Amino acid sequence: MIPKSTDPHYRQWLGELKQTIQGAQQRAALAVNQQLLQLYWQLGRSILQQQQAQGWGAKVIEQLAQDLKQAFPQMKGFSRANLMYMRAFAEAWPDFDSNAIVQQAVGQLPWGHNLVLLGKVKETEQRIQYARQAQLNGWSRSVLVHQIESGLLERQGALSNNFSATLHKAGSDLAQQTFKDPYLFDFLNLSDEAQERELENALTRHISQFLLELGAGFAYVGKQVHVEVGEQDFYLDLLFYHLKLRCYVVVELKTGDFKPEYAGKMSFYLTAIDRQMKTEQDNPTIGLLLCKTRNKVIAEYALSDNSKPIGIAEYQLSQALPADLEENLPSIERIEAEFANDLGDGDE
């Protein structure tokens, strides 16, 4: 007997087989990528060693590129520029073959992602942190570029908050790293004079970019979410659920300076969500106040005796990186030129 394609048991079995095949494909692709990176690292290390031992300059890489392409005409990746990248890769990770931390982060990213890390991030530890987040969150190359250029690591955990006093240790640490300050809304194309409802509507119209800026784990629930307390109606600007924190997150938008009374009203909203929407499986609801500006001392005072977990951060409608940070973040178009210039020193 041949089962029909609509047979429930057959469809379930087919779905399980598809998952098995997709899993095998992913593992195979990852294995191929790891082998490619290992090869590129070995070639780069050999170039470094021979240049140091023989005193050769960068012109030897051009000769090597010609000879390797002639020897392996069916293989790609032996251009002069790519050999330079291999050399830079080996120089950046001298213990790539033996360092488990580097293997788990950098070794699982595609070659193009690694070129972004080499060209845009100068500090080794920051490269590892960005590599971990790219691998964990499945960032594309363009998303990785965006996160680096927006100074993600510098912004994570920088907001004013009372998480350590209102959440258990593990939840407090995770919440601290989940939220950031400032949030960059440069994708909205709004003026600094935008009103709160205008900002809210723009964010929900661009929900994909907004979720990207919020970070991994946020699921959008709704805007102007209605809650009724004491036979009165209240409306929350934005409501999310965070999959890792396992809690609701209330986001309130303020287009002016932070005021202490905002924390009190947020506390009221959090109580309402905890009592009306939170289940036994959920952790306490967290509040995020996004203000145009905020005085850190005032924010600290406002949160010091508040029993609800609240974070206060600024938002920017246009990206404004510090000058010293911008100098350390060359554009993607400059990567090859920088490597070529660095490796060209000492040509013979």
Q: What are the tens digits of pLDDT across the range 292-345?
A: 999 999 999 999 989 999 999 999 886 544 444 444 444 444 444 544 444 444
- Candidates 192, 187, 216; CA nearest to 204 is 187
Higher pLDDT among residues 265 and 328, named by residue: 265
Please say if the pLDDT value at position 105 is more than 60: yes
Name the pTM for this structure: 0.70
Work out the percent of the chain whose per-residue pLDDT is above 90. Answer: 52
- The better pLDDT of the pair 232, 340 is held by 232
| Mean pLDDT within 11-27 | 78
| pLDDT at residue 1 in the model | 62
Contact 255, 241 (CB under 8 A): no
Domain with CATH 3.40.1350.10 in the chain: 154-318
- The pLDDT, as a whole number, for residue 318 is 64
Q: Is there a cis peptide before residue 182, judged by omega within 30 degrees of 0?
A: yes
Read off the amino acid at residue 165: A
Q: Give me the chain's average pLDDT, please.
A: 85
> b/e map of 25-50 (b: 16 or more CB within 10 Å)?
eeeeeeeeeeeebeebbebbbebbee
Compute the distance between CA of residue 102 and CA of residue 133 in angstroms, rounded to an integer: 13
Cα distances (Å, whole numbers) of residue 165 to 245, 249, 274, 282, 300: 16, 18, 18, 19, 12
pLDDT in tens, 276-290: 999 999 999 999 999
Q: What is the mean pLDDT of residues 162-173?
A: 92
Given the candidates 3.30.70.100, 3.20.20.120, 3.10.50.40, 3.40.1350.10, the CATH classification of the domain at 154-318 is: 3.40.1350.10
Q: Does 75 score more than 90 pLDDT?
A: no
- Tokens 């350590």 locate to 164
Strands annotated E in the chain: 160-161, 183-184, 218-229, 232-242, 247-257, 286-293, 310-316
